[in-house]
Structures are given as structure tokens and as C-alpha cells.
Structure 1
């Protein structure tokens, strides 16, 4: 899928109007089809199906009017309940999590069900003709309206349960974590390989990059401000191959871009024609906010934000922070089992074409643990859980990737405030020593592990 299509598809998924509008259009089509069948087969339908509505025009009008009025009223109530849930989520968990609630398909389907039933009943109601005219009662369509009303009642019952569940902190954290895990699988796929070969390949790539991306180049300049949401990697590689150029990216998804900032540099400079630079500029998709499509750090920061808010004096909910630490530990364990992508991208002939920055394992560990370490200094419970998580990560991390974990342990140990009780300080010191010992003594059979350089989507 094109990156621009992907951008607008993500916007549609996070809107409250798109799916309900589609359902309303489907309801209009159903009303048209039902009335058409009634006009052609009413007598045969009445004789063949005893469960059809058999009343007159007045009764049919009353039934459809009642259903339509109640549906639009309930739709307003449902929308109000949704706004209340969004307000609670924004104030308690963070405004950046609103996008996750708005992407909830269940809420969109519920609103769409009531709107669609209202539209259906309204359109069928206008086809009923009294006896003083050419009498017509759409018996099948009225029956379908009653069925839709009963279905809407079931949807309302489900919605009450769904809202009660969706605002629970553990459920919210689990959903955000699932999105983070999906991002790890998508951007850092597990493949079969040899870590020794990976290290050698990384060193060769660095040497090739130093030689291939030197000299004067032509800069690709941003024509607007915003967060870099997506990079069309396939199109970028195709442009580089067709023009026989090399492209060094200056930014990656998640970075904020200023107007007239350099997005990439094309080598050699004499081949960086205006048309080519314009094509490369369109590879970068800017937006108003960060997304998780190609930005794994943003998915982590959503969990970090929930934990930091929970540790604030105004909320003071360490148990929510513990849940976030556990989920972040799961994500880091997955990342520790994979190799980070090498920055150099080559075409099918092995020619270096694109040099793309990507987050290192140490940077991702810092993104996940640094804010938690700083805000949990005065909370012995969360600090101990943080150290326990680092200890459990030791066997899953390669030896070269444990330096950042050791640094975090050292900073936790040196950052214990004097206001903490003496016993708590001793417990934290013991946990630090235990985590440090695990990081220094754990063995990982790197060559037997099924790892190889990931080639993440959009990198």
C-alpha cells in the first residue's frame, strides 16, 4: 500500500464518521432493496411467511416512527457515553491514548448500528401510502425494521459492557502493549541467521557506507513542518536504482521536521536534478502527530506516559506503573532476541543505494527505562520491579546489548534519594547488585540463536 494511502487509511480508522457513514449507506441500500421486494412480491410473501408484519399503514407508520425516534435518541446517548470515556482516558491516562480509543472498531460499529437503523426506518417510512391514496404497506421492510431494532438493543447491551471494560487501566495498557508487540514483529521480523555473520556484515556495511556516501551531495529540503510518519522505502530504493544515485536519509519516522530542513542527501550532487529531488521529497509523509506505523519508539512512549502519569503526586497509582513496567519488559525481551537493522540498504545487484538511520537497541532501552527510572526514584516498589525486569532481560539480551542495561542499573543505584527509608534503600541496593550480577554472568548462545539483521518496513 502506498504510504500516502496508508496515512489516510489510518486517519479513517481513527475517525467516528467513516464506518458509521458506510453503515448508513448500506442501510439506505437495504431499504431500497426491501421496498423493491415488497412492491413485487408482497402478496406471495404474506402467504408464505407467517412471521411478517401484517398490519395496516397506520400501524406500520407508528412502528417505524417509534423505532426511528428511539434509535436517534440512543445514538446521542451512546455518543455522550463515548465522549465521557474519552475524557476519562485523556485525564487519567494521557491525551495521546485518545487515538487508541477512537480506533476502537466496536465503538464505531455501535454508533453506526443506531444511525443505520434510523436511516433505514426513515427511508422505509416515506414509502408507506394510506388508503386514500394507492395503498401500499411494505410488510417485509417493516419486519426488517423491527429486526434491526432488536439487533440494536443487543448492540446497546454490548456497548455498556464494552465501555465499562475499555476504561479499565489494565485493559488499556494491554491494548497499547499489543500494538507495541505488533510493531516489534512488523519492524523487526525474526529470521534465521548467525550473529557472528551479522556482526561481520554490520562492520562491512559501515565500511561500505563510509566510502559510498562521501563527497558533495544535493539536499532534499522539506516543504512543510510536522512529524515524519512514514517513509516509502520501496519507492525510495526504486528511485535510487533508476537514477543510479545513492541517498542518505537525515531523519527517520518519529522525528519532528522543520520547514526547509534537510530530509535526505543525494550522491553524487550532479545527478540530483530538481525533478528527482521532488520525487524523493514525496517519499516522506509528514503529519500532525506521531504514529506507530513505522515508529516503534512512539509505541513505547505511550506505555511510558501511562506509567509516568500514574507515578505523579496527583494520581499516585504505583500499581498501574507496575503493569506498564511488565509490558515494557515484554517488548524489550522481544527486541533483545532480534538484531537491529543495519543502516545500509542495497539493491538487487548488491549496490549500496540508501543509508537510513534506525534506532539502536541501547536507544530503545533508554526510551523505555529512562523516564521510569527518573520518576520512580522515590517509589521503592516500582524501582524494585524495574530492577527485577532488567534482571529477567539479561538472558535474552546479547552480550553487546547489555551495556545500556548496566548503565540503567548504575543510575538507579546512584539516584536512590536519601528520603527513602533505610530498609528500602538496602532492598534497592540488593536488587541492583542482583541485576548487575545477572547481566555480567548470563550466557547467550548467540550463534545458535535464530537471529539475523531485520529489514523493517519503511526503514
Structure 2
């Protein structure tokens, strides 16, 4: 249930209507409350509270109508500016970054402030009476509307500055990097342990546990789409209740097709259709990827910016280098974190759930493969890739990490020998590759005994 609620919340907070809708509701309530207070006071008792306006019916109507008309006009202008910014973001940085722009609370607050002020003025305007001997002018409410207009002028200035800054390449890259770190921290909360060599033993234990069951059943995906989240706790409860072992075939972020096997159930007794339905409901599939449990989501966003920057139509290697620097920082962070185990046990230690694990090698490949493939003839980007790998090598903790970096370095070197023709440029690449080898050797000497050298 918690995973489902988090997935729904992620969908809501990335929509463009949530905060504006909330602010419209607040404006509606504020209008009702202010009109109520206006009815409780005599006109002569307002004092300093009527600083901006203390006139009659016609003046109040004129002010409220003017503010309402101007606010809805400004709201339309801000919406148009937003559409232009989204168009520029899509063409330069990729359509998947639209989510980052839309989910930014500043953009939503600006639209909500203008529309909320418009609704507030309309409701207060409707409360004014001057017929049948009854005169009511909501002085407090009118003065508050003037204060809201003054605040909205500042909001408009902020919005213009925010839009102009948010579409700058460096700011876009930094925003994506900040989200990347925000997502990595809860997914990899623990520092890496000194002993990470138990993977083979875990795999052997998994196979032995699977072989100990006499029956198996495959649970199929109900529809096509991206696996957005998995309710691990829910799966464990089902496995314990049915005395079974669950083996997941996909992890969040991967695309699945209808009727493909989501999970294989190994059991001895009975596994009812109701349990199978509960099992399928623990997987959340949608039309697009979600960063909730997808460790590579923001990594792919940075990679997309870099690859687009390297395209002939944009040809912006500086933006690509900026993305490589942020990717290097993220991978360096992960080099010191413990990757969650793919084996989940009940309290008594019995294996109940096996997930498809994240690996350091997979993260390194996701971060650098596409950039390397699209920059084979670009010397500046090639050398920065090697420099970044060298930086990461300085914080490596085990042989798997060093081998992943060495593999990337070897591929970069081979590509440079084929696609870079200038002799001195090749020499620069060779020097940085040698620096990578030296860093890996130093890391191996200071860590476990497995040595990993450039070849």
C-alpha cells in the first residue's frame, strides 16, 4: 500500500494542476472567510485596515473587476511563456526533461497565484450589494485583493527571471543532477561493506532453494508499459503466507510486454488464483518511467542531454562535458555505497524473494556507454571521459568497480585509435588512459589483493 501511495503521489506532484488547484481552493476559502469578517464589522471600525481602499460600491466593483481581468490576462501570458519554455527545453534537452520543468513548484505557484487571485476577486465581487435598501461593501476583502495584486507583481518578476534561468544549459544539468542525488540516497542508504564477495554464495543458495520446491508457476504482466515500482514488502507477505519463493524477472525502469513473465513462483503446496492476483497487483506498470525506484532514471536524463549536445544539429561539447562531470560525481558517490541485496528473507532467515539487482557495472555502463559511442571522434569529450574515470578510480572499493572502469577505459582507447587521426590528440588520450591505469593500480594496492591494471 505504501508503494502504491508513493507512486500515486509521484504522479500527482509531477502534474501541472496540483498546486494551482490547491491554491484556487485556498483562494475560494479565503474569499468566504474575508466576506464573513466584513459582515461582522461596521464600516467605521476598519481603521488602518482600510488603508488602500475605503470607498463605496462603484469603486469596489471597479477595483475588483480590474484586478480580476488583469489577473486572468497575466495568467494567460505566463501560460504562453511556459509553453515557449517547454518547446525550447524539448528541442534542446529532450522531451523527458519536460517533467522536471512541469514539476518545479515555482512554475505551479506562479500559475496558481494568478488564477487564485482571479477567483478570489470574482467571489468577493459577487458579494457586493446595493439594492433594496441594503448596502454592503466588503472593505477588508477589497483591501486584501490590492495586497494580492502587489504580491503578484513580485511573483511575475520572479517568474520571468526563473524561466530565463531554468532553460540555461548549466542550470538544467545541475537540476537533473540534484534530482539524481535525491533519488540515489533512499535507494542506496548504506555505505559499502568491506566484504562484498558473497554474490556467488547467494546465487548458489537461491538455486538450491528453487530446486527444493516441487512446483512452479509464472505470473504474467497484465499490460505493456514500464515497470514503475514494486511493492517489495507486499511480495514478502505473499511469499510468507503461501510458503513460496518468488523470483522477479524485471526491475523498475525496464519495459515489459503484456503476458511476459513478471515473477516465477516456486512452491510445494497450493498457490491460489487470488494469491496470483495479489502478486500481480504488487507491480505498478505505466506508460513512462518513474524515478521512484529507478536508479538509472536521472542518469539517463543526463546522458540524453549529453548525447543531444553532441549531435551535429546542436554541437555543444561543453554541455556534454558538464554532464560527464555530474555523472562522474554520481558514480563516485555510488562507489562508496552498498547496493541492495537481491535476496530478501523472512525474519527466520528463510529466502523468500529474489529481485533483479542493480550493479555498479550496470550503472557505469548506463552513465558512459552512449556518450562514449557518440563522441568517438571528439577529443575534448574523449579525454574528459578518461579523466572522469580516473577520478572515480580514486574512490573504488573493490575489484568489480575497478573492472567496470577499466572496461570503459579500454573501449575509449580502442575507439580513439580508430576515429582520432591527429597524432598529438592520440598521445593526449594515451596519457589520460595511462593515468587511469595508474589510479586503478593504486586503488587495487590499497584495497583487496585483486589487481586491475590497464592493458
Class of the TM-score when normalised by the shorter of the 2 chains = over 0.9
Alignment match, 1:209: 206
Alignment map for 1:245-394 (pairs within 5 Å): 245-268=244-267, 270-394=269-393
Query: Is the CA contact 1:227–1:286 (under 8 Å) kept in the aligned structure 2?
Result: yes
- Give 1:457's aligned residue: none
Say if 1:245 and 1:271, in contact at 8 Å, map to a contact too.
no
Is 1:53 aligned to residue 53 of structure 2?
A: yes
Q: Report deviation, 1:272.
A: 2.0
Deviation at 1:44, TM superposition (A): 5.7
Structure 1 position 190, deviation (Å): 2.2
Asked whether 1:432 is paired with 2:433, we answer yes
Gap change, CA 1:44 and 1:232, over 3 Å in 2 = farther
Q: 1:372-451, aligned counterparts within 5 Å?
A: 372-400=371-399, 401-416=401-416, 417-443=418-444
In structure 2, the partner of 1:452 is none
Query: Would the aligned equivalents of 2:244 and 2:268 in 1 still touch at CA under 8 Å?
Result: no
Query: CA deviation digits over 1:121-176, x for unaligned, max 9?
Result: 00000111226651110000101111111111110011011111100111111111
| In structure 1, C-alpha distance between the alignment counterparts of 2:118 and 2:28, rounded to whole Å | 10
Unaligned runs of 5+ in 2: 449-455
Deviations 1:190-237 (A, max 9, x none): 24x7422x424x343222211112354111111111100000111111
State the superposition RMSD in angstroms.
1.7
- The answer as to whether partners of 1:395 and 1:443 remain within 8 angstroms in 2 is no
Distance (whole Å) between structure 1 residues aligned to residue 278 and residue 210 of structure 2: 20
Sort the Cα spacing of 1:50 and 1:83 in 2 relative to 1 into closer, same or farther, 3 A.
closer
Classify 1:346/1:111 alpha carbon distance in 2 versus 1 (closer, same or farther; 3 Å): same
Q: Displacement, 1:113? A: 0.1
Aligned length: 444
How far 1:443 sits from its partner (Å)?
4.3
> What is the aligned partner in structure 2 of residue 86 from structure 1?
86
Kindly report which structure 2 residues correspond to 1:106-185, keeping only aligned pairs within 5 A, or say none: 106-130=106-130, 133-185=133-185
CA contact (8 A) 2:50 2:139 kept: no
Higher relative contact order (CA 8 A, sep 6+): 1
Tell me the residue number matched to 1:453. Answer: none
**Structure 1 stretches of 5 or more lacking a match?**
448-459
Structure 1 length-normalised TM = 0.93
Q: Distance between the aligned counterparts of 1:440 and 1:389, measured in 2?
A: 16
The CA deviation at 1:52 is 5.5
> 1:425-448 deviations in whole A, cap 9, x for unaligned?
11112211221222123247559x
Distance 1:49 1:99 in 2: 43
Pick one of 197, 205, 213 that aligns with 1:199.
197
TM-score (norm 2): 0.94
